[in-house]
Chain A
Amino acid sequence: MNSMANDVLVIGAGLAGLTTAWQASRHGKGVRVIAKGWGATHWHAGCVDVLGYWPVDSETPATNPAATLPDLLAANPQHPYALVGLARLAAALGGLQHLCSDAGYPLVGSLDKNWRLPTAVGAARPTCLAPATMIAGDLDDDTPMLLVGFKQLPDFYAHLAADNLVQQGIPARHVVLDLPALAGRNFTTAVNLARFMQQSDFRAAVAQAVKPHLGKAARVGFPAVLGLEEATAVHQDLQVQLGRPVFEIPGLPPSVAGMRLHRILKAAIEKNGGQVHEGMEAIGFAADGGRVTAVHTETSGRPRQHRYEQIVLATGGILGGGIVTNHAGEVCEVVFNLPLRHPENRLEWFRRDFLDKQGHPIYRSGVSVNENFQPMDGRVLYQNLYAAGSTLAGFEAIRERSFDGVALATGYAVGNLVSN
């Protein structure tokens, strides 16, 4: 069957790791992805945020990332976007759009414009690429909307979102459904609701219950639960039944929209002959002559060795578990113990205010790399080791809203580098 060569080992299955593996496997490389568990794909909104705010303390969102990015690169030449370059960033976005379209789940948008999509509490969220299932919620359009909640889904507060939108000048109302199909439950999760949504009789019941409340609403918003594998069909069917545009609003984890991207990328890797193994935690490595010769993973009995030509570290930063901190003030990378850039002193980790507009210095911690994404300590540490995604140093992802864009672009770049 698949006796592929041991070309590329990717550690981490978030957006960065999966993108790396997708690109490398597309070029015919034998790829294995190992991951301790699933990553931020299951938390984030299922969109691709490239640059939401710049400068980071800006009050107003960036409307056109392509126009703002050159300023960012000039101010921060160490930023991962600077290493990738704008051309490769655009290619990465285009590549993902292409993949998702082929999978029947189009991502809409371009670098020239940020959408302004509503969050679960009705704030405006700048994002670059969003699934077609979310676009009708754009707040540049001020036509009236109806937001639909479910009594059994405590993670979506339709009334709160509607109130907030009204305050921003968007006519919004809400309704909370209590459907017979869910009546026996105290609560349900977004994922179970998404499975229900794939059943046509459930959808018909939803449409039936919403119709009396439509009034003047020109569009109808739901929490992001409109199907898993069949999201596009579910979305279209609801639009037909309700006779107007329908949109999804991503909310608390788990993120159904993020899971769709995870599925599409994983399927692409496996179709190209690659393997994706979850539940495998990298705990150590062996090196010889400036090369990593093996990565060790924890198993039920004893460590397993993975011998691959090229190794890509995509374990996420502090939030993803690839970098850990302790109260003694130490900051460590967990697999290779790579040298990190981080605040010297623990007192400098955080600013005083939780929502400080500059962000917190500790979240800029990470691995320093050269233009080929090889970890550096003045010199290249291992000839065959690369790093991608949030594990990289020197950017304020939370304030910039650049987590997804950096993960996608650096994963794309590294996936192509290791294929040459």
Chain B
Amino acid sequence: MANNIWQAQLNIEAHTLKPVELTLDHCIKCNICVTACPVTAVTDLFPGPKYVGPQAGRFRHQGQPSPDHSVDYCNGCRVCNMVCPTGVKIAEINGRARAHIVQSGQVPLRRKLRNNLIARPELMGKFGQPLAPIANGLLHSGFGRFFAKLLLDIAPNAPLPRFSGERFSRWAHKRRDAVRSDRKVVYFHGCSTEYFEARVGKAAVQVLEANGFEVIVPSQNCCGLPLLSNGEFAAAQAYHESNIRHMVDYVKQGYVIVGTSTSCTLTLKEEAPEMLAYHTPDARLLTANTFDIHEFLVHLLDAGELKTDGLRPMPLTLAYHPPCQYRAHRLGRPSTEIMALIPELTIIESQAACCGVGGTYGYKAEKYDITMAVGKPLFDFVQQVHGPIAVCDSETCRWNIAAATGVPLVHPIELLAAAYGYEPEGPLAEVMT
């Protein structure tokens, strides 16, 4: 371990990871995963993790057609991995099986086109954000959605976000020299903060600066998760390699990477290397030195270095959904630990496994109904708590819950930034006035 939490760990052991498929030999067929899978619970189209993962996996071989196309209905939530008593990497086995189907050209052209489009939020952002008012108007009009369904099979009611007026990185660039410190961290904003919710990135920078850090925002790409979960591995690897190139030198200088999107940080740490079987020394350095922001704050808290004095009280009772992609970090619930520091704030945690959207999954017309059925217990819970806003770390999750319930969603870091006294933006601003 490094002396200080904010110092990157550079002594990384050589990788010894086995291909995920080999973990299927640990399966004892206990069916525990099937009891927990939120998709199996709502549709006959998906027999369940054990069947499509370790079971069908025995019959999948290079150069042969996959025996089981229902694996495409896995939404990648990883709930199965969390409950399996023997450590089978079921979700990854499923993801790699899907990639095999995609690579062997078994996906119809229209679907492939659609999957490739929705798996590239960076591309959409680069074109859409500069035209924000027009793009927002088009994307949210019934007309635009009708054609999206007709041409591309994109679910007409799926929760589309709105482009921000200003890209997050522009904001960060303008105030680049505002804070100077020996303690530096690198911030990975991801596509959602960059193009849609700059306020999350601002809150993260404010919190880190309030704790004495200088925040470096390097140029960066999409983490590649949407491509991974659509089986487009070559394109995902290109993004991952580019991110390593952009960030690994900072790590080598001793700075760690902190992110606010739980699925981006999971991809940098684990998903990309495991799914792509990509374990170069630089990829290992990134894995070992990437943190979710609340994971990082909990480390500071444990070391007695987190600013916890003078927090502004927030007399609110809010529902919080720890997203499945955050639980999959296997860290417990760090955001809950941090929100507990805010005076007068009452957080009620959801017990729901998943909101159902699964990144791009819920945007597909053939899967939209499954998404809504999976998310129903969570939507009911959010409405029952009846807060003016609700809280979740993952962006697609926030958009999905907000679209389904009408309750606006915020990232937990926005709460801490506001408790530190920073001016909130968006839904939180309306609640705090």
Contact, CB under 8 Å: B340 / A2: yes
Distance to closest chain B CB from A44 (angstroms): 11
Identify which of B36, B82, B332, B333 gathers the most chain A CB atoms within 10 Å of its CB. Answer: B332
Q: Is B48 an interface residue (CB 8 A)?
A: yes
Q: Measured between alpha carbons, how far is A297 from B31 in the docked complex, in Å? A: 24
Q: Is B372 an interface residue (CB 8 A)?
A: no
Q: Measured between alpha carbons, how far is A279 from B339 in the docked complex, in Å? A: 22
Distance to closest chain A CB from B52 (angstroms): 14
Which residues in B have their C-beta under 8 angstroms from that of A253?
A: 30-32
Known contacts A192-B40, A254-B30, A254-B34; A37 and B83 CB within 8 A of each other: yes
Contact, CB under 8 Å: B287 / A301: yes
Known contacts A300-B269, A300-B270, A302-B288; A281 and B87 CB within 8 A of each other: yes
Contact, CB under 8 Å: A38 / B287: no
Number of A-B contacts (CB under 8 A): 102
Q: Is A275 an interface residue (CB 8 A)?
A: yes
B271's nearest neighbour on chain A, judged by CB, is A300
Known contacts A279-B327, A298-B330, A300-B330; A42 and B32 CB within 8 A of each other: yes
B34-73 interface bits toward A, Cβ cutoff 8 Å, 1 = contact, 0 = none: 1110001100100110000000000000000000000000
Distance to closest chain A CB from B186 (angstroms): 14
Q: Measured between alpha carbons, how far is A8 from B87 in the docked complex, in Å? A: 25
Q: Is B328 an interface residue (CB 8 A)?
A: yes
Q: Is A325 an interface residue (CB 8 A)?
A: no
- Residues in B233-279 with C-beta less than 8 Å from chain A: 266, 269-270
- Residues in A233-292 with C-beta less than 8 Å from chain B: 252-254, 259, 275, 277-281
Q: Measured between alpha carbons, how far is A117 from B133 in the docked complex, in Å? A: 69
Which one, B35, B47, B48, B328, contacts A42 given CB within 8 A?
B35
Known contacts A254-B34, A299-B331; A278 and B9 CB within 8 A of each other: no
Distance to closest chain B CB from A18 (angstroms): 14
A277's nearest neighbour on chain B, judged by CB, is B332
Q: Is A304 an interface residue (CB 8 A)?
A: yes
B82's nearest neighbour on chain A, judged by CB, is A279
Which residues in A have their C-beta under 8 angstroms from that of B32?
A: 37-38, 42, 253-254
Q: Which of B115-123, B172-180, B341-349, B362-370 contacts A (4 or more CB under 8 A)?
A: B341-349
Which residues in B have their C-beta under 8 angstroms from that of A302?
A: 9, 288
Q: Is B398 an interface residue (CB 8 A)?
A: no
Which residues in B have their C-beta under 8 angstroms from that of A189?
A: 31, 34-35, 40, 48
Which residues in B have their C-beta under 8 angstroms from that of A277?
A: 332-333
Which residues in B have their C-beta under 8 angstroms from that of A299?
A: 329-331
B269-306 interface bits toward A, Cβ cutoff 8 Å, 1 = contact, 0 = none: 11000000000000000011111000100000010000
Q: Is B407 an interface residue (CB 8 A)?
A: no
Q: Measured between alpha carbons, how far is A281 from B266 in the docked complex, in Å? A: 17
Q: Is A43 an interface residue (CB 8 A)?
A: yes
Q: Is B391 an interface residue (CB 8 A)?
A: no
Q: Measured between alpha carbons, how far is A184 from B194 in the docked complex, in Å? A: 45
Contact, CB under 8 Å: A279 / B30: no
Contact, CB under 8 Å: A37 / B269: no
Contact, CB under 8 Å: B85 / A39: yes
Q: Is B350 an interface residue (CB 8 A)?
A: no
Contact, CB under 8 Å: A279 / B328: yes
- Residues in B298-334 with C-beta less than 8 Å from chain A: 302, 327-333
A18-42 interface bits toward B, Cβ cutoff 8 Å, 1 = contact, 0 = none: 0000000000000010101111001
Q: Measured between alpha carbons, how far is A298 from B82 in the docked complex, in Å? A: 12
Which residues in B have their C-beta under 8 angstroms from that of A304?
A: 330-332
Q: Measured between alpha carbons, how far is A190 from B290 in the docked complex, in Å? A: 41
Which residues in B have their C-beta under 8 angstroms from that of A307?
A: 302
Q: Measured between alpha carbons, how far is A301 from B329 in the docked complex, in Å? A: 8
Which residues in B have their C-beta under 8 angstroms from that of A298?
A: 330
Distance to closest chain B CB from A9 (angstroms): 12
Q: Measured between alpha carbons, how far is A1 from B337 in the docked complex, in Å? A: 9
Contact, CB under 8 Å: B44 / A185: yes
Q: Is B7 an interface residue (CB 8 A)?
A: no
Q: Is B103 an interface residue (CB 8 A)?
A: no
Contact, CB under 8 Å: B30 / A1: no
- Residues in B215-229 with C-beta less than 8 Å from chain A: none
Q: Measured between alpha carbons, how far is A279 from B84 in the docked complex, in Å? A: 8
Q: Is A144 an interface residue (CB 8 A)?
A: no
- Residues in A366-395 with C-beta less than 8 Å from chain B: none
Q: Is B136 an interface residue (CB 8 A)?
A: no
Q: Is B106 an interface residue (CB 8 A)?
A: no
Which residues in A have their C-beta under 8 angstroms from that of B341?
A: 3
Known contacts A253-B31, A279-B327; A36 and B340 CB within 8 A of each other: no
Q: Is B169 an interface residue (CB 8 A)?
A: no
Distance to closest chain B CB from A219 (angstroms): 28
Contact, CB under 8 Å: A184 / B346: no
Q: Is B86 an interface residue (CB 8 A)?
A: yes
Identify which of B36, B336, B345, B346 gathers the most chain A CB atoms within 10 Å of its CB. Answer: B36
Q: Measured between alpha carbons, how far is A253 from B84 in the docked complex, in Å? A: 13
Q: Is B164 an interface residue (CB 8 A)?
A: no
Q: Is A195 an interface residue (CB 8 A)?
A: yes
Known contacts A36-B87, A37-B85, A302-B288; A279 and B330 CB within 8 A of each other: yes
Distance to closest chain A CB from B42 (angstroms): 9
Q: List 28 A-B contacts (CB under 8 A).
A: A1-B339, A1-B345, A1-B347, A36-B85, A37-B86, A38-B32, A38-B83, A38-B85, A42-B32, A184-B44, A185-B44, A191-B34, A191-B41, A259-B35, A278-B82, A278-B83, A280-B330, A281-B87, A297-B330, A299-B329, A301-B269, A301-B289, A301-B291, A301-B295, A302-B288, A304-B331, A304-B332, A307-B302
Instruction: Please provide the 8 A-B residue pairs with the shortest distance between their CB atoms, ordered closest to farther.
Output: A279-B82, A37-B85, A254-B31, A1-B340, A300-B270, A300-B329, A300-B269, A254-B35
